[in-house]
Amino acid sequence: MSRQLLPVLLPLLLLGAWSPWGQEQGPESPSEEPPEEEIPKEDGILVLSRHTLGLALREHPGLLVEFYAPWCGHCKALAPEYSKAAALLAAESMAVTLAKVDGPAQLELAEEFGVTEYPTLKFFRHGNRTHPEEYTGPREAERIVEWLRRRVGPSATRLEDEAGAQALIDARDLVVIGFFQDLQGEDVGTFLALARDALDMTFGLTDQPQLFQHFGLTKDTVVLFKKFDEGRADFPVDEELGLDLGDLSRFLVTHSMRLVTEFNSQTSPKIFAARILNHLLLFLNQSLAAHRELLAGFGEAAPRFRGQVLFVVVDVAADNEHVLQYFGVKAEAAPTLRLVNVETTKKYAPVDRDPVTAASVTAFCHAVFNGQVKPYLLSQEVPPDWDQRPVKTLVGKNFEQVAFDETKNVFVKFYAPWCTHCKEMAPAWEALAEKYKDHEDVIIAELDATANELDTFTVHGFPTLMYFPAGPGRKVTEYKSSRDLETLSKFLDNGGELPTEEPPEELAPPSLEPPTNSTVGSKEEL
């Protein structure tokens, strides 16, 4: 190259090395996006890689990105809804685009955005790569679109007159209107923040005096209008403390539930999200007229326990066998009541078989809260041959008698019928029982912890192995070692603890460095 050309070329070379997108971009950056590369699409969804994410962020002011794995079942279930959501967004001409990233294939992107499970969805606004919002909404197409709609547009409708307010109330089952004398106040910001995520409700707000007067209000109030039960519930804003997001959220969740909710696959998520700890269940057969007549009395008792007890109806003739099993209720026992505290999992049943009326329901609830009814524990019946096999069968009704027998060392496996690990260790447990069947002071037993509950302790994982040594004091030791016959035998032979292994005698000083073919890494790598 001639010396005459250097002064001309050098500035051009320097300019070419300077990234037009800021100093973070460079020829060695893993996020470099060749400008000529087009972003492919599948079913209206952008398919992104580390090369194209930056380009997508520049071109789309609102970008919802799903990080998925091809093998993930939840991702496969989401796929048709995600495609449908993309079509709905396109039809609305909303300024939001859907995209997806194959996480395992694009590990750099998955690591950059802290993806630890699939699917993970993140919403990017105005090209901001560093602070995307985690998507926490439902996974149905319409709800995805509504979640996005409330982020790129207003989350509440501004109401100016009675006609507009009434039209909004009439249009939906659940409508929340914030009446604020100052729409620039801090309470309005709290209200709008809640509205962004409460997708089951439609929100409006107003500062119009005539609307305050029309709805009988004299101060700032949030009003829930609903097309069932009492029709309206008011939440006055505290004049000193202002509007508390948590308090308002709890109020809306509580009052948006029907006084009596029928349990099914659609309502169960709302039932458990209601944050009401006590659930009163009426088990009945909806196909029988005599049972349906009980609903009136059950519902009559509900208002006085609003916010304290959630009233739920379980149809024993529907697909609710798992609910009946959890409460230990047979279909033929209906109609019958059960109360459960979902925090403590304690369950209560009426002492008497009184007819289900408003009075009997009220009395039962008060009796539970006043400590007059003791919780009940599930138990299978004791099998006639429970002690005839090498592995003895325990249930709730005979557990105390057997496990805390002061003349026996009792080793119990708590299992679940569906548990893979329990099935895998079953041969070793049978072999252990066979080995010790002639030891009069040793009992090897098992208990189905999904069908039997114990007052002594709660089993949290399967299988759980517990050792109850002979002697006084009701001592218990949990076994946490290998589940093979040899190790289990050592544990029993050593009185309920594993013998301490003596370290092998050193024949030579240890080497300070691993041999050249060693696979041992550094301490930090381990």
pLDDT tens-digit map of 334-347: 999 999 999 888 99
Instruction: Verify that 171 and 235 share a domain, yes or no.
Output: yes
| pLDDT exceeds cutoff 60 at 88 | yes
Categorize the per-residue pLDDT at 232 as very low, low, confident or very high, splitting at 50, 70 and 90: very high
pLDDT value at position 457? 80
Bridge-partner residues for 62, per DSSP? Answer: 125
Q: Look at residue 101 and give its three-state secondary structure.
A: strand
Instruction: Verify that 237 and 281 share a domain, yes or no.
Output: no
pLDDT value at position 460? 83
| pLDDT exceeds cutoff 50 at 271 | yes
Least confident of 15-19, 77-81, 184-188, 274-278: 15-19
Instruction: Verify that 269 and 247 share a domain, yes or no.
Output: no
| pLDDT exceeds cutoff 90 at 462 | yes
Catalytic option among 79, 342, 419, 498: 419
Sign of the C-alpha dihedral computed for residues 417, 419, 420 and 422 taken in this order: negative
Final residue in a domain of this structure, among 110, 125, 152: 152
Final residue in a domain of this structure, among 199, 232, 256: 256
Q: What is the pLDDT of residues 374-428, one digit of tens each?
A: 999 999 999 999 999 999 999 999 999 999 999 999 999 999 998 999 999 999 9
pLDDT value at position 31? 46
pLDDT value at position 10? 40
62 with 96: CB under 8 angstroms?
yes
The domain that holds 270 is classified in CATH as 3.40.30.10
Catalytic option among 25, 31, 72, 386: 72
- DSSP letter assigned to residue 348: E
Instruction: Verify that 347 and 327 share a domain, yes or no.
Output: yes
H-assigned helices in 153-233: 162-171, 186-197, 209-214
Instruction: Verify that 202 and 220 share a domain, yes or no.
Output: yes
| pLDDT exceeds cutoff 80 at 36 | no
pLDDT value at position 140? 94
What number is the average pLDDT over the span 472-500?
A: 92
| pLDDT exceeds cutoff 70 at 45 | yes
Tokens, residue 20:
């037009």
- Is residue 12, in this structure, part of any structural domain at all? no
- Is residue 3, in this structure, part of any structural domain at all? no
Q: How many domains does the chain have?
A: 4
Final residue in a domain of this structure, among 256, 280, 315: 256
Least confident of 48-57, 100-109, 319-328, 504-513: 504-513
Instruction: Verify that 361 and 446 share a domain, yes or no.
Output: no
422 is known as an active-site residue: yes
pLDDT value at position 455? 84
365 is known as an active-site residue: no
| pLDDT exceeds cutoff 80 at 16 | no
Spatial distance between the Cα atoms of 411 and 476, rounded to a whole number of angstroms:
10
Which residues are within 8 A (CB) of 460 and not within 5 positions of it... i.e. 6 or more apart? none
Sign of the C-alpha dihedral computed for residues 104, 110, 115 and 120 taken in this order: negative
pLDDT value at position 502? 53
- Is residue 90, in this structure, part of any structural domain at all? yes
Categorize the per-residue pLDDT at 519 as very low, low, confident or very high, splitting at 50, 70 and 90: very low
- Is residue 166, in this structure, part of any structural domain at all? yes
Q: What is the dihedral of CA 300, 304, 309, 313, to 10 degrees?
A: 10
Count H helices, E strands: the chain?
17, 21
Catalytic option among 75, 101, 425, 488: 75
Catalytic option among 422, 433, 449, 492: 422
Categorize the per-residue pLDDT at 8 as very low, low, confident or very high, splitting at 50, 70 and 90: very low
Instruction: Verify that 359 and 266 share a domain, yes or no.
Output: yes
Instruction: Verify that 188 and 132 share a domain, yes or no.
Output: no
- Is residue 9, in this structure, part of any structural domain at all? no
High-pLDDT (> 70) share of the chain, %? 88
- Is residue 25, in this structure, part of any structural domain at all? no
Q: What is the pLDDT of residues 114-148, one digit of tens each?
A: 999 999 999 999 999 999 999 988 999 999 999 99
Q: Look at residue 64 and give its three-state secondary structure.
A: strand
213-224 burial, b at 16+ Cβ within 10 Å, e below that, comes to eebeeeebbbbb
Tokens, residue 226:
């609903």
Q: What is the pLDDT of residues 161-214, one digit of tens each?
A: 999 999 999 999 999 999 999 999 999 999 999 999 999 899 999 999 999 999
- Is residue 432, in this structure, part of any structural domain at all? yes
427 with 461: CB under 8 angstroms?
no
Instruction: Verify that 114 and 166 share a domain, yes or no.
Output: no
* Closest by Cα among 362, 351, 357 to 308: 362
Overall pTM > 0.85 = no
Categorize the per-residue pLDDT at 501 as very low, low, confident or very high, splitting at 50, 70 and 90: low
pLDDT value at position 27? 39
Instruction: Verify that 396 and 489 share a domain, yes or no.
Output: yes
72 is known as an active-site residue: yes
Phi, psi of 505, rounded to the nearest 5 degrees: -65, 130
Instruction: Verify that 48 and 125 share a domain, yes or no.
Output: yes
Over the chain, what is the mean pLDDT? 88
- Is residue 16, in this structure, part of any structural domain at all? no
Instruction: Verify that 355 and 268 share a domain, yes or no.
Output: yes
pLDDT value at position 273? 79
Host domain of residue 426: 392-494
